[in-house]
Chains A and B, each alone.
Chain A
Amino acid sequence: MKVEARVLLSLGLFFGIMCAVYWNWSLENAGGVMMFAGMLLCFLPGGYYYWWSRRMKARPEDNPEATQTEGAGVIGSFPGTSIWPFTLGMGAFLCVLALVFGIWFLVPGLGLVVWALFGGTSEGRRGGPH
Chain B
Amino acid sequence: MTDVLQPPADIPAHDEAHGHDEHHGPTGILKWITTTDHKIIGLSYTVTSVIMMVIGGFFAEIIRAQLATPNGHLVSLAQYNELFTMHGSVMIYLFVGPFAFGALANIIVPIQIGAPDMAFPRLNALSYWLYLTGSITMLSGFFTAGGAANFGWVGYAPLSNSLNTPGSGADLWIGGLLLTGFSAIFTGVNLCATIFYLRAPGMTMFRMPIFTWNLLVTAILILLAFPVLTAGLIMLYADRHFGTHIYSVAGGGVPVLWQHIFWFWGHPEVYILALPFFGMATEIIAVFSRKPVFGYKGMIFATLSIAALSLGVWAHHMFTTGVVLLPFFSIMSLLIAVPTGIKIFNWIGTMWRGQVWFSTAMLMAVGFVVTFLIGGLTGIYLASPPLDFFTHDTYFVVAHFHSVVMALVMGAMGGLYYWGPKITGYLLNERVGKFQFWFLFIGTQVFTLPQYVLGLKGMPRRIAIYPHNPEWKMLNDWSSLGALLIGISTLLFVANIVVSWKKYPAGDNPWDAHTLEWFTTSPPPHHNFYRLPPIRSERPTWDYNHPEHRALGHGSHKNEVAAEVVHKAPHS
- B196 A4 Cβ-Cβ under 8 A: yes
Set A3, A31, A80, A89: member contacting B315, Cβ < 8 A: A31
| Chain B residues positioned under 8 Å from A22 (CB to CB) | 312, 325, 328
A22 to B260 Cα, complex, angstroms: 14
**Residues of chain A from 1 to 26 with CB closer than 8 A to chain B in the complex:** 3-4, 7-8, 10-11, 14-15, 18, 21-22, 25-26
What does the 1/0 interface line of A66-79 toward B look like (CB < 8 Å)? 11111111111111
A11 to B301 Cα, complex, angstroms: 11
| Closest beta carbon of chain A to B393's beta carbon, Å | 22
A18 to B121 Cα, complex, angstroms: 36
Question: Any chain A CB within 8 A of the CB of B209?
Answer: no
**Residues of chain B from 499 to 558 with CB closer than 8 A to chain A in the complex:** 527, 531-532, 534-536, 553-557
Set A35, A42, A64, A128: member contacting B312, Cβ < 8 A: A35
Of all chain A residues, the one with the shortest Cβ separation from B168 is A100
**Interface stretch of the complex, out of B95-103, B122-130, B413-421:** B122-130
| Chain A residues positioned under 8 Å from B130 (CB to CB) | 89, 92-93
| Chain B residues positioned under 8 Å from A7 (CB to CB) | 205, 216, 220, 304
What does the 1/0 interface line of A94-130 toward B look like (CB < 8 Å)? 0011011100000000000000000010000011101
Of all chain A residues, the one with the shortest Cβ separation from B175 is A96
A115 to B132 Cα, complex, angstroms: 21
| Chain A residues positioned under 8 Å from B25 (CB to CB) | 80-81, 130
Question: Any chain B CB within 8 A of the CB of A86?
Answer: yes
Set B35, B201, B324: member contacting A67, Cβ < 8 A: B201
| Closest beta carbon of chain B to A113's beta carbon, Å | 11
Of all chain A residues, the one with the shortest Cβ separation from B327 is A25
A62-B204 contact, Cβ under 8 Å, with A18-B312, A68-B532, A90-B129: yes
Question: Any chain A CB within 8 A of the CB of B2?
Answer: yes
- B133 A60 Cβ-Cβ under 8 A: no
Interface residues on A, range: 35 or more
Of all chain A residues, the one with the shortest Cβ separation from B178 is A96
Dominant secondary structure of chain A at its interface with chain B? helix
**Interface stretch of the complex, out of B60-68, B86-94, B457-465, B560-568:** B560-568
- B201 A68 Cβ-Cβ under 8 A: yes
A51 to B555 Cα, complex, angstroms: 26
- A61 B201 Cβ-Cβ under 8 A: yes
| Chain A residues positioned under 8 Å from B117 (CB to CB) | 78
Set B31, B171, B204: member contacting A3, Cβ < 8 A: B204
Set A8, A21, A67, A74: member contacting B202, Cβ < 8 A: A67
| Chain B residues positioned under 8 Å from A38 (CB to CB) | 224, 311
Set A25, A69, A75: member contacting B328, Cβ < 8 A: A25
- A83 B555 Cβ-Cβ under 8 A: no
A100 to B137 Cα, complex, angstroms: 10
What does the 1/0 interface line of B312-355 toward A look like (CB < 8 Å)? 10110000000111001000100000000000000000000000
What does the 1/0 interface line of B108-149 toward A look like (CB < 8 Å)? 000000001101011111101110111011000000000000
**Residues of chain A from 28 to 69 with CB closer than 8 A to chain B in the complex:** 28, 30-31, 34-35, 38, 41-42, 49, 60-69
A92-B182 contact, Cβ under 8 Å, with A34-B264, A78-B572: yes
- B137 A93 Cβ-Cβ under 8 A: yes
| Chain B residues positioned under 8 Å from A89 (CB to CB) | 125-126, 128-130, 132-133
Of all chain A residues, the one with the shortest Cβ separation from B205 is A3
- A4 B205 Cβ-Cβ under 8 A: yes
A81 to B237 Cα, complex, angstroms: 36
| Chain A residues positioned under 8 Å from B228 (CB to CB) | 34
A23 to B204 Cα, complex, angstroms: 38
A71 to B25 Cα, complex, angstroms: 27
| Chain A residues positioned under 8 Å from B216 (CB to CB) | 7
Question: Any chain A CB within 8 A of the CB of B377?
Answer: no
A71 to B568 Cα, complex, angstroms: 6
A86 to B124 Cα, complex, angstroms: 11
| Closest beta carbon of chain B to A62's beta carbon, Å | 6
| Closest beta carbon of chain B to A15's beta carbon, Å | 6
Of all chain A residues, the one with the shortest Cβ separation from B126 is A85
A82-B125 contact, Cβ under 8 Å, with A31-B264, A73-B567: yes
Of all chain B residues, the one with the shortest Cβ separation from A12 is B308
A26 to B328 Cα, complex, angstroms: 9
Q: Which 6 A-B pairs have the closest CB atoms?
A: A89-B129, A72-B567, A60-B201, A85-B125, A66-B201, A93-B133
Assuming A85-B36, A86-B125, A99-B171, what are 12 further A-B pairs, CB within 8 angstroms?
Answer: A25-B325, A34-B261, A61-B202, A61-B203, A63-B204, A66-B535, A69-B565, A71-B568, A79-B121, A92-B130, A100-B168, A128-B1
- Contact sample, A vs B, 16 pairs, CB 8 Å cutoff: A18-B312, A26-B325, A30-B264, A74-B2, A74-B4, A75-B198, A76-B570, A80-B572, A85-B126, A86-B125, A89-B125, A89-B133, A93-B130, A93-B179, A99-B171, A100-B175
Residues of chain A touching chain B, judged by Cβ–Cβ distance below 8 Å, are 3-4, 7-8, 10-11, 14-15, 18, 21-22, 25-26, 28, 30-31, 34-35, 38, 41-42, 49, 60-86, 88-90, 92-93, 96-97, 99-101, 120, 126-128, 130
